[in-house]
Amino acid sequence: MNDPSPIDPRVGSPPLLDVSNLVKRFQVKTPQGPGELLAVNRVSFEIYPGEAIGLVGESGCGKSTLVRLLTRTLSITEGQIRFGGTNLSEVAPAQMPKHPLRAKLQMVFQDAQDSLNPRVTAFDAIAEPLRLLGSDSRESVIRSQVEEIATLTGLPLELLQRFPHQLSGGQKARVGIARAAVLRPLLLVLDEPTAALDVSVQVVILQLLSELQRSLGMSLLFVSHDLNVVRLLCDRILVMYLGRIVERGNATDVFTNPRHPYTRALIASIPSTGHDASQYLLPGEAQSPIQMIRNPTAERCGLYGRCPRAELICAKQAPPLLPVPNSEGHHVACHFADSFQNF
């Protein structure tokens, strides 16, 4: 769906978004005493102009927390976020709504029904960002811009005066996308935007996003638990497990040659891949992300206890995210990545 570009956007241009060693801890109380929930653990990655990046992982792995950090609706514990050359780490969440770069970093939420005000028409929902952050406050200009983005997102103009309850699920999804794209952002962050839609509607919305990305020249960060959906849209993939990025690389490389056991289990669970899912199942439960303050858990691989290849070093030392030899931008965090070469 997202045809590979003959020109790699990463060549000769600085990253649009540069995330370095990002950490988010929440203070929690447990029966054993005070602890910390380590939701995002030393995450680093880049997004270049014109790229579509997929962030995948199971529920609870830290995807939504990471999105809130990137969009500056949640405070950062450690690390840095640079967007368009500006250090957004220094911008407090309360300051972000009025920050000059707010218009260039927009978000599409998971459930369009919940994110739309039921008492506001589709037109006013799309116009709101223009009235708050646009450069021209004239209503005639705002109407023109709303109608233009409605056309680009396939939303019939006669539906703009309808309220959310008068729209179908697909139409509400288009309103949510139009509202985020009307300011022509440089980066559009999408948090599971198709999760609440029927499969047939999902395909249409993915096609729309791909076309919109090309026509507006945006970068996309597409967050999902569904690798199959991400494969259709994204150039590169980040795989997240228990707060860490455990594998990243070109979408084709990650799908055809996954080097982390968790990535292999995710891909094998997709029926269309033809893999025997039972062969790649990971037994047991994920480790708790909560660490006791008085007696912190030793640094170890987050998959320890579930991985079929686990050894003593995995219990003592979390593997760093390192390049896969003879690959182009493929990285994996596994002490025994070479053991998982043949899918």
Residue 325 pLDDT exceeds 70:
yes
Segment 219-247 mean pLDDT = 92
3-state secondary structure 174-221: HHHHHHHHCCCCCEEEEECCCCCCCHHHHHHHHHHHHHHHHHHCCEEE
Per the prediction, the chain carries an average pLDDT of: 89
Query: Looking at residue 292, what is its pLDDT?
Result: 63
Band of residue 112 on the pLDDT scale cut at 50, 70, 90: confident
Q: Which DSSP category does 89 fall into?
A: G
Give the Cα separation of 63 and 193 in Å (integer): 13
Residue 7 pLDDT exceeds 90:
no
Q: Are 202 and 329 part of one and the same domain? A: no
Band of residue 4 on the pLDDT scale cut at 50, 70, 90: very low
Give the Cα separation of 49 and 13 in Å (integer): 8
Residue at which a domain ends, from 179, 199, 234: 234
Query: Looking at residue 8, what is its pLDDT?
Result: 60
Q: Are 41 and 160 part of one and the same domain? A: yes
Is the pTM higher than 0.85? Answer: yes
Residue 6 pLDDT exceeds 50:
no
Q: Are 230 and 109 part of one and the same domain? A: yes
Q: Are 227 and 313 part of one and the same domain? A: no
Angle between helices 139-152 and 169-181 (to 10 degrees): 130
Segment 247-274 mean pLDDT = 90
For residue 45, give the CATH number of its domain.
3.40.50.300
3, part of any domain? no
Tell me: the pLDDT tens digits for 114-166? 889 999 999 999 999 999 999 898 999 999 999 999 999 999 999 999 999 99
Residue at which a domain ends, from 216, 234, 252: 234
Residue 338 pLDDT exceeds 70:
yes
Residue 137 identity (one-letter amino acid)? S
5, part of any domain? no
Three-state SS at 5: coil
Residues 340/261, Cβ–Cβ less than 8 Å: yes
Lowest mean pLDDT among 202-216, 226-240, 254-268, 272-286: 272-286
Q: Are 229 and 285 part of one and the same domain? A: no
329, part of any domain? yes
**Which of these, 233, 190, 195, 231, lies nearest to 211 by C-alpha position?**
233
What percent of the chain clears pLDDT 70, i.e. is strictly above it? 94
Between 86 and 35, the higher pLDDT residue: 86
Residue at which a domain ends, from 199, 219, 234: 234
Query: Looking at residue 1, what is its pLDDT?
Result: 59
Band of residue 299 on the pLDDT scale cut at 50, 70, 90: confident
Residue 119 identity (one-letter amino acid)? R
For residues 139, 145, 147, 152, the Cα torsion angle rounded to the nearest 10 degrees is -170
Q: Are 208 and 301 part of one and the same domain? A: no
Q: Which DSSP category does 88 fall into?
A: G
Q: Are 182 and 103 part of one and the same domain? A: yes
Q: Are 320 and 199 part of one and the same domain? A: no
Q: Are 44 and 146 part of one and the same domain? A: yes
Q: Are 103 and 211 part of one and the same domain? A: yes
89, part of any domain? yes
Beta bridge partners of 23: 78
- The neighbour count for residue 280, using CB atoms within 10 Å, is 20
Query: Looking at residue 50, what is its pLDDT?
Result: 94
State which residues form the domain around 114. Answer: 17-234
Between 288 and 253, the higher pLDDT residue: 253
Q: Are 53 and 178 part of one and the same domain? A: yes
Q: Are 229 and 265 part of one and the same domain? A: no
51, part of any domain? yes
Three-state SS at 152: helix
Between 202 and 67, the higher pLDDT residue: 67
Token representation of residue 107: 């978000």
Tell me: the pLDDT tens digits for 170-224? 999 999 999 999 999 999 999 988 877 888 888 899 999 999 999 999 999 999 9
Question: What values do phi and psi take at 291, rounded to 5?
Answer: -115, 140
139, part of any domain? yes
Segment 76-85 mean pLDDT = 96
256, part of any domain? no
**Which of these, 39, 45, 37, lies nearest to 19 by C-alpha position?**
45
Three-state SS at 96: helix
277, part of any domain? yes
Residues 213/220, Cβ–Cβ less than 8 Å: yes
Give the Cα separation of 268 and 32 in Å (integer): 38
What percent of the chain clears pLDDT 90, i.e. is strictly above it? 66
Query: Looking at residue 10, what is its pLDDT?
Result: 63
Give the number of domains in the chain.
2
Query: Looking at residue 186, what is its pLDDT?
Result: 97
